[in-house]
Structure formats: structure tokens, C-alpha cells
Amino acid sequence: MENVFDSVGELSRRLHNREISAVELARGYLERIEAKKNLNAFLDVRPEETLKQAEAADAQLSAGTAGPLTGIPIAHKDIFVTKEWSSTAASRMLKGYMSPFDATVVRQLKSAGMVCLGKLNCDEFAMGSGNENSAFGRVHNPWDINAVPGGSSGGSAAAVAAGLAPIVTGTDTGGSIREPAAFTGVTGVKPTYGRPSRLGMIAFASSLDTAGLLGHSAEDCAAVLGAMVGHDPWDSTSVNMPTEDFTRDLAKPIKGMRIGVPYSWMGEGLDPEVRKSIDEVLDFYRREGAEIVDIELKMARLGVPVYYVVACAEASSNLSRFDGVRYGHRAAEYTDILDMMKRSRDEGFGPEPKRRIMIGTYVLSHGYYDAYYLKAQRVRRLIANEFHDVFKTVDAIALPVTTGTAYDFGTNADPVSAYLSDLYTVPASLAGLPGVAMPCGIHSNGRPIGLQLLGEHFTEARLLQLAAQWQRSTDWHLRHPADC
């Protein structure tokens, strides 16, 4: 299919002008998904279900009752449960599981008329930074198949980068949208915690898990985000505030904005080419009339140890539901119920979930709760307070997503090395802040470079505005892998 990299707005225009039908559009993406199976971005594709939704979209378009997103293809990270596609969290524990309901995010986007292409691969239970932990095989980066696409939303990022879907859902617990976006040259938005519903998201860390989007541009993400967020009375963590038009400020000038940069945190360990690309973005913002302000984020540097205490503790609690009794994998042979639970969990969980369950169980255990978990929660509050103090003087913060570009498979085999790669992403997650990652260059190794923008709670529109202004003046978001 031609024009697989068209924007959401262009696809909408073509559908409403009847230049192409929703069925033709869906079929074109399905053919491309089949042709790019080597990337392993998709876990479940069911053309008959996709085309059924596309036919319903065409009926709305013909009747004149279609909305701006009607007929637009989308794919969902396999952390969101879906009725028509299996929901596995990329784990053997849930292999073949069919949910009786759609996640709220899935249902809202379906109600907007979007057409689901299938379910996307990810790190098992969204635990990982490279998409090397999926029980169903790793996802390959379209820019270099020897490189990771980032995690945990690696299948989501790879699908957009390779033109397998115009926009996709992802989740961000500690950077799982922003890092894959940076590694694959696409745009990712992590909303404020509580803006999108968590109902129907297979839980990893309940106080951190946030649904978001990955697309080619800030404009594409803004066009879809409004249909995705909103209060959900069935989710106790859902913020009771209406949705908004996130496209409203995209074209507005940024003159007068103050952008904070933690320069002292961008020293040792940061790839010089990444630093150069980030400086080019900051120079652009200066030329546009924004003021670049040097800020300090001393507490944020403690984000990694705090995150891996809090997230693992919550994972230990959430994953305890997989016991072989109610649903999920059950061992075929066992002697008693305790043996069944042990064998079921041993067979169903991969190495990374086991590692995090063990860490979480340890920090929650008697004698260690105060020393680790409670202390981590106190430092988490200090990190959040620091961000809120900084946002009293700046409108946004710009900083790297990672210290370098996508790394080769196996490079971060040591779990601690992998955890340390999250140093620039986990602090915002601990504070529940919104963030946007956007491409800002290509490294001499041929792999994309990304930058992230962070804002105070509920300032997604401002971050998308800043990203859109950069993208209106550059073409990094329009560059695609050579073989795509």
C-alpha cells in the first residue's frame, strides 16, 4: 500500500473524501504487517475482525455520521485486554487468554470509529527497557534488526516506525513509551497519571502504569489523545476532569515560554552526539523566543533505586493473582494446591517477572518494609515536590530520554545495567507527570536520537505544542528506516 506513513489527519481527509475506503486502508496495513513479520511487532492479527470493524466504519462514512477518527487504523499494546483478540501481556502465563471485555482505552477508541489491526508485542507484563523479555520472541528495531526497539512498548514503536500502523497505544510505567519512541524515531506521549483509565490494563505497578500513544508526530498523537482520556468511574485512580482538544495550541507560537534544562545532570555518560542533537533543539526554541533556563534536579537522580523498590513491590502484589486457580496458566502435574501454585508460576512467568516479584516480596517483607519500601515512598514524595517547585518557574523541562541510542541485543544482559538505563525516564513517572518524546536527529551509527519534554500535571497540550513547533521546522519525524 502506498502512503503507509501518511498522517492521521491526511488519512482522515482521504477517508471522508471517499478517496479510499476504511476496508481498503485496513487491508493495506494488514498486508504490510504480513510482509514485515520478521520484526515480530504483532502477537495477534485477525483480519476478519479488523475488516468487520472497517466495514462498520465505511457504513458510518457513507451515512455521514462519521467522526474525524472513523476508519483510522490503530493497534494496541498487548497490555490492554480486548474481546476480539487475545490478551497475553506477552507472557506464557496468559497465553491464549480471551478477555470478556475491552479495556476502557480500547473501548473509547473503538467508539470513536478507529479500526483495530491487532495486538502488539511487548516486554512480559511491561517489564523491560529493550523488548527482549517477551515470552513470544523479541521485537526488532526497523532501523537495525540487530538493535532493540526499546521497551516495554517495543512492538508499538516498531509498528509505527515500519509503517505497520499510523498510530498505536502503549503504556509507560517508567519510560516504556518515551524510550521506544526515542529508539525508533517516532513520537510518544505519556499523559498525566490518572488521565487515561487503567481499567483493563493488565497491571504491573498500579501507582505508575499510564496508557499513552505512539505516532509519527505530535500532531497525530494530539488528534487521538482526546478520544483516549477522560474520567472512568470504574477506575478509582481516574481523574475526574473532562477531556480536551489537544490540537488547539499546536500552531501557536512559543515565544515567552521558559524551558528548564538540568545541564548538570547531562554530563558524564551522555553520548556527545545525543547532547549535540538536544542542543540543536534548545537553540531552535531560543530562536522562536523561548527562554532556556538552567535548573537543578538533585532528587530526581535518586529515581532509579526508588522506582525499582516501588514498582517491584507493586508487581509482587499484582502478579500474585496468577496462582493457577482462577485464570491463566495452570501446571499439568502437581501433588497439592501449594505445589500447583509453585509449578504454575514457575512455568508461566519468565525470568524478569520472577526477578521483580522476588525483589518486591523482599522489600515488603517483615523487617524490611520500613527500611526499603517506606523510605522509597518518602523519597518519591521529595522527587515529586522538587518537580513541582521547578514548574513554578518554568513551563516545561527538556532532557534526554536515554544516554545513547538503541543498543544491540544482549548488550544489557546484566539486569542492573538495564535498570540504570532508565535514569532519565523514571523520575517523571514517580511524580505522575506528562511527557512527550520526539525524534531530534540520527546518530552516526544510523540510529535515531530522541529528546523528552516534561510538564506539570495536565499540561499535555503545552508539551505537544512545543513538540509540534519543532516538527513543523524539521523533518526528523518524517524520516523512516531505509528498508521501509
Catalytic residues: 77, 152, 176
CB 177 within 8 Å of CB 134: no
Rounded distance between C-alpha atoms, residue 291 and residue 467, angstroms: 16
Helix (H, G, I), strand (E, B) or coil at 442: strand
The CA–CA distances, whole Å, from 57 to 8, 28, 145, 369, 410 equal: 15, 16, 35, 52, 43
Q: How many of the other CB atoms lie within 10 Å of CB of 96?
A: 10
DSSP letters for 4-45: TT--HHHHHHHHHTTSS-HHHHHHHHHHHHHHTGGG--EEE-
Where would I find the beta strands (DSSP E) of 113-225? 115-120, 167-171, 187-190, 211-215
Asked if residues 450 and 438 have their Cβ atoms less than 8 Å apart, the reply is: yes
Query: Going by C-beta distance under 8 Å and a sequence separation of 6 or more, which residues neighbour residue 391?
Result: 397, 455, 456
Count CB neighbours of 155 within 10 A: 33
DSSP state of 122: -
Please give the DSSP secondary-structure letter assigned to residue 234: T
- Whether a cis peptide bond, with omega within 30° of 0, leads into 21 is no
Cα separation, 181 vs 475, whole angstroms: 16
| Greatest CA separation for the chain | 71
For 281, the grid coordinates are: 533543539
End-to-end CA distance of the chain: 12
Nearest-angstrom CA–CA distance, 411 and 420: 13
Q: 516545561: which residue's cell?
A: 396
